Copies of this chain bind each other. A is one copy, B any other.
Amino acid sequence: MVLIYNGPIDVQSLLSSWYSAEHNRNYGAMVTFVGTVREEAGIEALSFDIYRPLLDKWFEGWKRRLEKEGALLAMAHSEGDVPVHTSSFACAIFSPKRRIALEMLDAFVEDFKANAPIWKYDVINGKRIYAKERSTPMAGSGLLAKD
């Protein structure tokens, strides 16, 4: 299951807890990715909606894919407002050897961007504006627009 934070992720305690839970299970490599809200275009924060049932399904699919490689996947994401310079996304992969961890981190983060059911909004002057230009239609989009 994806760990959902209401607002920013407490990155320091999250990374600490992931490391301390797994470092003695004989994984030789841990890789992590943390996404932090950048100050740009006058935003105060980003805000997120999540559709949890599908996010968990998508995540469990990745978890199984990594388990086949002997690797372990963990992920957290924020819901609601995440102010500039705080973090909204974190993940970690533990694997026996480094190669799988490095390759899968890249593949997982890219697929996350394209297919995790999460919607992003800029928060400007307290108003929530859908980040349409930075969003990607999910695989299979347009089905109901077909003739």
Residues of chain A at the chain B interface (Cβ within 8 Å): 11-12, 15-16, 19-20, 23-24, 26-40, 85-87, 96, 98, 101-103, 105-106, 109, 113
Contacts and interface: CB of A to CB of B under 8 A. Distances in A.
B85 A35 contact: no
19 contacts: A15-B16, A15-B32, A19-B34, A23-B36, A26-B39, A26-B40, A27-B38, A28-B35, A28-B38, A29-B34, A31-B31, A31-B32, A31-B105, A33-B101, A33-B102, A38-B96, A98-B109, A102-B105, A102-B109
A34 B101 CA distance: 11
A16 B16 contact: yes
Which residue, A24, A37, A98, has most C-beta atoms of chain B within 10 A?
A98
Nearest to A23: B36
A30 B105 CA distance: 12
- Total copies of this chain within the assembly: 2
Given A34-B30, A36-B23, A85-B26, A106 B102 contact: yes
Nearest to A101: B33
A15 B19 contact: yes
Nearest to A85: B24
Contact of A27 (B12, B36, B103): B36
